[in-house]
């Protein structure tokens, strides 16, 4: 993997770059649509490519391991072939999902024992097994196995957890060297900065992670319940430590405003279920604010969903029609809203990139944050 | 509406024709995808047009009356504009849905009092009100208000019901003359032959309906539980009575085999929820038989869904991938299967038309029925 940092904004810490992998280039800043089990929910691969047009999408190791299973993915020749997606894929490590299981998992130094949310069967993830699973899935970017402590965790818990995450990282790196890629392209491991909401721990973790010399670095354990201002403070602090010549990925963030604010702090990559999950609940993100399309006020508004027309759905369907689909619990409603929201997220990061490149990011960002903060 | 009967098959009673309305031409035999509340479930209008390519789709008066309501549809300028579909639309009369409500409706000579399946509110449909509702919806082909008796109804019940349906037809025709179309195109009323499974009643009804001189004629009350052979017997008998120079629409039928058999008996138009409903349950129709994609046997079958490649989904996705989507309860599974099945149904009627036109329908039909009868 090569990262070519094109420019850093003069007024903020925002960066524009290009990542090159064996599956092509990724222009940063980038938002990665989440394709949990090998499908970006309710969106055809062709729509994803032609309408939403991300250079990279995300898959979830935990979900893919349970279904369709690594065995099937290996027989298919990896996730790219299985789902018919020839651009980049990143997989998380399964850590976040496993920890969300709460009562259904037990963490030890060796790894995590957990019960499947599907059938209650027992499984064990270790840094080593998660590396092997990610070799089988075959994403271009794979994540180190980490513990993601809850937002309200104590200093002591967070410190111990972070130190274990660091030890696990060493095991991930060591094991990957023993297990070569299964397919005919390279995979890059991104380690994950942890440390909760504690500045000294975040700094310590960022320093540890930086020394690994990975192709890219991730920031985990944020957007888990803490106030946005605290998240920004942590991101800022961590980005100041992480190497400038490697892409930085802020995991699981966030709203369009969160994304612009974090771009301004030096983050290059994002993922979040919000555009698709909120879409399925009838919430639309636009450049002029959010829309709850279930609201009665849209009942006879026959104007297009979004005059900007970023994707085909925006001008093909009216707000009144989309509201009717949600009122009638029709699947097409979820499909339309998902394409719209993802189209908007990708538009937003592409616009951010343009403004970083032409030196107008800061004023543009301020204007966009004001606009997007409204409820329509 | 003009119906141009191009040819009648030399070996069977199959016909190929062209219907022309203010929204364009409809090549017959045709299958009309069902768009209950103004959406063919889980299919984008653009996919419907570009991939499935029907000249006409169907909407349900009962559902559209309740949601989005005729008021909203009138404000939108009719269903075509509301859902952004510029080809033909046919609406049923609401009769069938109202009768399916069973305990929730009361039939009198005046009309039917019923309770909404959504909120239990009381409503009343009469031949007159249903004509007005269909004026507001604005379909190109609208259906007379009829009673559709259950398959097990007695001779006496069926006879009385048929006679009331005939009286209701007169009221529909009279009322339509008083209420002009609401939009800038014409609407054609199709009356409906009833008579259950009783030959003399079917003949009597077909004769009555023929005398109306409508633009086209429908056969109702079949495929409601009676054996396929009985349905074919009734269709055959009715088609022999109905005028040759008008299109014949067999309501709510059926499997791909039912469709070919009825085409052979002289039916020109079909609709059915089967391709989409069964799709959502993981059943695929193909030229070589049916597939239950949930079956474990497809787990590692990485061949395309359908080598024939009628629609883009057939070659974009593998059987193993589609099975995985169903196993994971992913919406994309329903979307893929729906497009596949509708694409196949439309392919089937287009092929039938070609074979009628070139005089090879009979042998082709026999071969197709044998092939499609298999479970893969």
Give me the pLDDT at residue B102, please. 67
Does residue A100 have a pLDDT over 90? no
Q: Chain B residue with minimal CA distance to A315?
A: B84
Contacts of B72 in chain A (CB under 8 A): 299-300, 320, 324
Does residue B101 have a pLDDT over 80? no
Structure-token match 């309860």, residue found = B329
For residues B162 and B111, is the Cβ–Cβ distance under 8 A?
Answer: no
What is the share, in percent, of chain A residues with pLDDT greater than 70? 100
**Residue of A331, A360, A367, A347 whose CA lies nearest to A44:** A331
pLDDT tens readout for residues A13-40: 999 999 999 999 999 999 999 999 999 9
The answer to whether the Cβ–Cβ distance between B335 and A38 falls below 8 Å is: no
Contacts of B312 in chain A (CB under 8 A): 46
pLDDT tens readout for residues A341-368: 999 999 999 999 999 999 999 999 999 9
Instruction: In whole angstroms, give the CA distance from residue A318 to residue A338.
Output: 15
**Residue of A91, A175, A83 whose CA lies nearest to A134:** A91
Q: Could you give the residue numbers annotated as active site of A? A: 92, 271
A68 touches chain B (CB under 8 A): yes
* Residue A194, token pair as written in the block: 């942890």
The answer to whether the Cβ–Cβ distance between B45 and A327 falls below 8 Å is: no
pLDDT tens readout for residues B192-248: 999 999 999 999 999 999 999 999 999 999 999 899 999 999 999 999 999 999 999
| Prediction ipTM score | 0.97
Q: The dihedral of CA B228, B234, B238, B240: what is its sign? A: positive
From the CA of B1, how many Å to the nearest CA of chain A?
A: 28
Q: What is the pTM assigned to this prediction? A: 0.98
pLDDT tens readout for residues B329-359: 999 999 999 999 999 999 999 999 999 999 9
Give me the pLDDT at residue A40, please. 98
* Residue B297, token pair as written in the block: 């046997």
Q: Chain B residue with minimal CA distance to A70?
A: B300
Instruction: In whole angstroms, give the CA distance from residue A221 to residue B48.
Output: 44
- Within 10 A of A236 (CB to CB), how many other CB atoms are there? 17
Does residue A102 have a pLDDT over 90? no
The answer to whether the Cβ–Cβ distance between B44 and A83 falls below 8 Å is: no
Does residue A77 have a pLDDT over 80? yes
For residues B74 and B138, is the Cβ–Cβ distance under 8 A?
Answer: no
| CA dihedral of residues B235, B239, B245, B248 (deg, nearest 10) | -10
Q: Pick the residue of B328, B334, B336 with the most A CBs within 10 A to test the interface with A by mutation.
A: B328
Give bridge partners of residue A88 from the DSSP assignment.
Answer: A56
The predicted model gives B102-124 an average pLDDT of 91
Instruction: In whole angstroms, give the CA distance from residue A305 to residue B319.
Output: 34
Using CB atoms, pick whichever of B41, B82, B332 lies closest to residue A42: B332
Edge-to-edge strands of the sheet including A141-143? A56-59, A88-91, A141-143, A188-190
The predicted model gives A59-68 an average pLDDT of 97
Helix axes B361-372, B331-357, angle to 10 degrees: 150
Using CB atoms, pick whichever of B82, B313, B335 lies closest to residue A321: B82
Helix runs in chain B, H state only: 45-47, 61-66, 70-76, 79-83, 95-100, 127-137, 155-178, 199-212, 228-241, 256-264, 274-280, 312-316, 319-327, 331-357, 361-372
pLDDT tens readout for residues A176-220: 999 999 999 999 999 999 999 999 999 999 999 999 999 999 999
The answer to whether the Cβ–Cβ distance between A335 and B330 falls below 8 Å is: no
3-state secondary structure of B345: helix
pLDDT band at B38 (very low <50, low <70, confident <90, very high): very high
A273 touches chain B (CB under 8 A): no
Q: What is the mean pLDDT of chain A?
A: 97
Buried/exposed B129-153: b ≥16 CB within 10 Å, e otherwise: bbbbbbbbbbbbbbbbbbbbbebeb
Question: Does the bond joining A374 to the residue before it have cis omega, within 30 degrees of 0?
Answer: no
Give me the pLDDT at residue A158, please. 97
- Within 10 A of B210 (CB to CB), how many other CB atoms are there? 17
For residues B145 and B127, is the Cβ–Cβ distance under 8 A?
Answer: yes
pLDDT tens readout for residues B266-283: 999 999 999 999 999 999
Give me the pLDDT at residue A105, please. 87
Edge-to-edge strands of the sheet including A122-125? A105-107, A112-115, A122-125
Residue A365 host element (H or E):
helix A361-372
From the CA of A343, how many Å to the nearest CA of chain B?
A: 16
Please write down the HEC assignment for all residues of B97-166: HHHHCHHHEEECCCCEEEECCCCCCEEEECHHHHHHHHHHHCCCEEECCCCCCCCCCCHHHHHHHHHHHH
What is the share, in percent, of chain B residues with pLDDT greater than 90? 95
Contacts of A38 in chain B (CB under 8 A): 321, 324
The predicted model gives B103-113 an average pLDDT of 91
pLDDT tens readout for residues A316-330: 999 999 999 999 999
Q: Could you give the residue numbers annotated as active site of B? A: 92, 271
The answer to whether the Cβ–Cβ distance between B76 and A312 falls below 8 Å is: no
pLDDT tens readout for residues B195-210: 999 999 999 999 999 9
Give me the pLDDT at residue A99, please. 78
Q: The dihedral of CA A78, A82, A86, A89: what is its sign? A: negative
Q: Characterize the bridge pairing of strands A289-292 and B24-28.
A: unpaired
Does residue B126 have a pLDDT over 90? yes
The predicted model gives A109-122 an average pLDDT of 93
The predicted model gives A83-112 an average pLDDT of 90
Give me the pLDDT at residue A101, please. 76
For residues B131 and B146, is the Cβ–Cβ distance under 8 A?
Answer: no
pLDDT band at B150 (very low <50, low <70, confident <90, very high): confident
């Amino acid at each position: 993997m090569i990262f070519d940092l094109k420019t850093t904004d003069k007024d903020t810490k925002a960066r524009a770059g290009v990542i090159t992998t064996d599956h092509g280039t990724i222009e940063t800043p980038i938002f990665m649509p989440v394709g949990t089990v090998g499908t970006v929910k309710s969106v055809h691969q062709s729509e994803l490519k032609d309408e939403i047009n991300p250079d990279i999408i995300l898959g979830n190791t935990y979900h893919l391991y349970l279904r369709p299973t690594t065995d099937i993915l290996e027989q298919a020749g990896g996730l790219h072939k299985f789902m018919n997606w020839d651009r980049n894929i990143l997989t998380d490590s399964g850590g976040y999902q496993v920890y969300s299981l709460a009562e259904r998992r037990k963490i030890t130094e060796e790894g995590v024992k957990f019960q499947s949310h599907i059938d209650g069967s027992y499984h064990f993830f270790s840094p080593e097994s998660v590396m092997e699973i990610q070799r089988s899935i075959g994403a271009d970017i794979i994540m180190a196995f980490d513990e993601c402590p809850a937002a309200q965790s104590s200093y002591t818990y967070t410190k111990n957890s972070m130190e274990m995450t660091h030890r696990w990282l060493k095991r991930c790196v060591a094991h990957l060297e023993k297990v070569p890629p299964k397919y005919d392209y390279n995979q890059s491991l991104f380690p994950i900065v942890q440390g909760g909401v504690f500045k000294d721990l975040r700094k310590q973790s960022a320093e540890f992670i930086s020394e690994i010399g990975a192709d890219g670095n991730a920031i985990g354990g944020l957007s888990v319940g803490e106030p946005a201002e605290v998240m920004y403070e942590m991101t800022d602090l961590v980005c100041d430590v992480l190497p400038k010549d490697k892409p930085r990925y802020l995991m699981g963030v966030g709203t369009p405003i969160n994304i612009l604010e974090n771009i301004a702090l030096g983050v290059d990559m994002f993922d979040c279920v919000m555009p698709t999950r909120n879409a399925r609940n009838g919430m639309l993100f636009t450049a002029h604010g959010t829309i709850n399309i279930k609201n009665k006020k849209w009942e006879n508004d026959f104007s297009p969903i979004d005059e900007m027309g970023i994707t085909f759905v925006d001008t093909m369907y009216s707000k009144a029609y989309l509201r009717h689909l949600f009122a009638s619990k029709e699947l097409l409603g979820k499909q339309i809203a998902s394409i719209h929201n993802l189209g908007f997220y990708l538009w937003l990061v592409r616009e951010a990139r343009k403004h970083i490149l032409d030196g107008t990011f800061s004023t543009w960002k301020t204007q966009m944050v004001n606009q997007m903060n409204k409820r329509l």
